[in-house]
Chain A
């Protein structure tokens, strides 16, 4: 049995909001196997976004154990978490978060530049680009693309450095049904084709149905489906 790529035990996160402590995560336990496509489903305020941010190294945990691809998040400094985002984690956000001044091609290239990856794009990634259907849009700016196309670019950017984990936060939240189905199909295809581990946060059960496994989050705790 191989080590899970994500291993979480008794994860807690407490925010200070004014004079009040907000317990966003109250003892989360989770194991995600390498190559798994997992959906975390829950209503707003359930803590799923906080989990996403911790796993992506965007905010540190308060207590517990979080292992990502063999790295202990609890022991990480700010610069270690920056390195984690650079090398081990790829993000897909609800709002796409593409750099508006750069073309599609340059939005992808800048992720490589930040990760100090040199040389031409590898064959496998070029095939993914083809599958995403954006090879003919590399010179366009994000504002010239539809929402679905922008999200495909965001997916391409998230995996260009071959991260261990792809984290997707409500990736279809801003898309219509047709584009949502297409984007989710692409995520599933990436998972099957490349064995890409994907953890997707969503409040939409239909979107979650594309995953191999679904866990529910409520009041800062996970519950199996």
Chain B
């Protein structure tokens, strides 16, 4: 019966219920979108890295595990690595940051093609001239480019020679030598990808490489993949913490205001319930249930809206961001929002439950 009263109260003020739920849901959406973008971009980066087809990656000394690697590995090391036991192929790649998380990669196209098993071109062809670049389908979609278009990278105009299917290494590639010249990093590479004749020998080869290159972070691709998580990006963890705090505050304020005004509006009804013999616990129970229901509806809205943000990101900025739907965060985000909402209802609910029955009945 109490649930029916709670439900009828929410139905009685549909606009208030809708707005409160939407506002509560915004907090859930903020959390799910942020976590989803973090997770989505890491997963995508992992997939693109795996798409190279290498078994081992060598990063510059002093670099973090998944940050943008600076081009300070001597390119001669690529040839040395190729001479090591069980190494079937090695290729050095130059990574140049373009701002934010965008990068352009300088590659030896033949080597990368051989290692990865080949690129699929949706239009155009690989670069042949020094002024040509290739881009993936997502970058092409976001920037509205196609084979033959001109794209400005590093203050130069490049002709897009081809658009390839995404999932291989990066979104924009230039000839390695050209990028080295343009970025004044001749003779240097950012990472070395290594393919083995027998992938099960990864640990053995890594141990061998580390003897000669003790300062270089060297990972198997499985090790590297395990590092693609939110926990490996302290800045993201901090930012998620900030957004969670904001969501709790948001839920608190929305519910506080909504329930405070609802209780004022329902003073007489609370008096009626008390006249019928409802105690403090009964009144408190009604308001807590109403808040929980608002938070549940709000969370459902929030989860629904996270699909909308995912669609918007995939439609308008597919190359810049990728949002995953992180199901594990549904109960977490909902729980955090519920916590904020319960904090918000605490004072109004206590106030309502202690209302004097007689004064409440006299309220008009």
Which residue in A82, A93, A97, A100 is a CB contact (below 8 Å) of B277?
Answer: A82
A184 to B272 alpha-carbon distance, docked (Å): 22
Q: Which residue of A lies closest to B282 (CB)?
A: A114
Does A152 sit within 8 A of B, measured CB to CB? Answer: no
Does B268 sit within 8 A of A, measured CB to CB? Answer: yes
What A residues does B272 contact at CB under 8 A?
Answer: 97-99
Given contacts A99-B5, A99-B269, A102-B8, contact A111 B361 (CB under 8 A): no
Does B279 sit within 8 A of A, measured CB to CB? Answer: yes
Q: Would A114 and B4 count as touching, CB distance under 8 A? A: no
A188 to B128 alpha-carbon distance, docked (Å): 104
What A residues does B277 contact at CB under 8 A?
Answer: 82-87, 111, 114-115
Provide the A30-51 mask, 1 if CB < 8 A to any CB of B, else 0.
0000000000000000000000
Q: Would B279 and A101 count as touching, CB distance under 8 A? A: no
Given contacts A97-B268, A99-B269, A101-B11, contact A85 B5 (CB under 8 A): no
Does A56 sit within 8 A of B, measured CB to CB? Answer: yes
Q: Would B12 and A53 count as touching, CB distance under 8 A? A: no
What B residues does A59 contact at CB under 8 A?
Answer: 358
Does A58 sit within 8 A of B, measured CB to CB? Answer: yes
A86 to B278 alpha-carbon distance, docked (Å): 7
Which of A59, A85, A106 has the largest number of chain B CB atoms within 10 A?
A85
Provide the B347-364 mask, 1 if CB < 8 A to any CB of A, else 0.
000000000011001000
Provide the B74-92 mask, 1 if CB < 8 A to any CB of A, else 0.
0000000000000000000
| B side interface size, CB within 8 A | 23
Q: Which residue of B lies closest to A163 (CB)?
A: B277
Q: Would A110 and B274 count as touching, CB distance under 8 A? A: no
Q: Which residue of A lies closest to B4 (CB)?
A: A106
Does A130 sit within 8 A of B, measured CB to CB? Answer: no
A150 to B13 alpha-carbon distance, docked (Å): 22
What B residues does A79 contact at CB under 8 A?
Answer: 279
Does A113 sit within 8 A of B, measured CB to CB? Answer: yes
Give B290 Cβ to nearest chain A Cβ, in Å: 11
Give A86 Cβ to nearest chain B Cβ, in Å: 3
Q: Would A109 and B274 count as touching, CB distance under 8 A? A: no
Given contacts A85-B276, A114-B278, contact A109 B361 (CB under 8 A): no
Provide the B245-288 mask, 1 if CB < 8 A to any CB of A, else 0.
00000000000000000000000110111111111001000000
Q: Would A93 and B9 count as touching, CB distance under 8 A? A: no
What B residues does A100 contact at CB under 8 A?
Answer: 12, 269
Q: Would B275 and A91 count as touching, CB distance under 8 A? A: yes
Give A166 Cβ to nearest chain B Cβ, in Å: 13
A59 to B362 alpha-carbon distance, docked (Å): 13
Which residue in B2, B12, B268, B275 is a CB contact (below 8 Å) of A101?
Answer: B12
Q: Which residues in window 118-145 of A have CB below 8 A to B?
A: none
Q: Would A113 and B361 count as touching, CB distance under 8 A? A: no
What B residues does A91 contact at CB under 8 A?
Answer: 275-276
Given contacts A58-B357, A101-B5, contact A85 B275 (CB under 8 A): yes
A85 to B357 alpha-carbon distance, docked (Å): 11
A172 to B281 alpha-carbon distance, docked (Å): 33
Q: Would A82 and B358 count as touching, CB distance under 8 A? A: no
Q: Would B9 and A101 count as touching, CB distance under 8 A? A: yes
What A residues does B11 contact at CB under 8 A?
Answer: 101
Q: Would A111 and B12 count as touching, CB distance under 8 A? A: no
Q: Would A102 and B4 count as touching, CB distance under 8 A? A: yes
Q: Which residue of B lies closest to A167 (CB)?
A: B275
Q: Which residue of A lies closest to B2 (CB)?
A: A113
Which residue in B9, B268, B271, B276 is a CB contact (below 8 Å) of A110?
Answer: B276
What B residues does A56 contact at CB under 8 A?
Answer: 275
Does B1 sit within 8 A of A, measured CB to CB? Answer: yes
Which residue in A53, A109, A114 is a CB contact (below 8 Å) of B273?
Answer: A114
Which residue in B4, B8, B269, B358 is a CB contact (below 8 Å) of A58?
Answer: B358
Q: Would A106 and B1 count as touching, CB distance under 8 A? A: yes
A111 to B275 alpha-carbon distance, docked (Å): 10
Give A152 Cβ to nearest chain B Cβ, in Å: 17
What A residues does B9 contact at CB under 8 A?
Answer: 101
Q: Which residues in window 1-59 of B have CB below 8 A to A?
A: 1-2, 4-5, 8-9, 11-12
Give B261 Cβ to nearest chain A Cβ, in Å: 16
A187 to B5 alpha-carbon distance, docked (Å): 28
Q: Which residue of A lies closest to B1 (CB)?
A: A113
A101 to B12 alpha-carbon distance, docked (Å): 6
Q: Would A110 and B12 count as touching, CB distance under 8 A? A: no
What B residues does A106 contact at CB under 8 A?
Answer: 1, 4-5, 8
What A residues does B276 contact at CB under 8 A?
Answer: 85-86, 91, 110-111, 114-115, 157
Which residue in B269, B278, B358 is a CB contact (below 8 Å) of A53?
Answer: B358
Give A100 Cβ to nearest chain B Cβ, in Å: 7
What A residues does B4 contact at CB under 8 A?
Answer: 102, 106
Residues of B within 8 A of A (CB): 1-2, 4-5, 8-9, 11-12, 268-269, 271-279, 282, 357-358, 361
Sample of 21 A–B contacts (CB below 8 Å):
A53-B358, A58-B358, A82-B279, A83-B277, A84-B277, A85-B357, A86-B276, A97-B268, A97-B272, A97-B275, A98-B272, A99-B5, A99-B273, A100-B269, A101-B5, A102-B5, A110-B1, A112-B1, A114-B276, A114-B277, A114-B282
Give the 9 A-B residue pairs with the shortest CB-CB distance, closest first: A86-B277, A113-B1, A101-B8, A85-B277, A101-B12, A58-B358, A97-B272, A82-B279, A114-B278
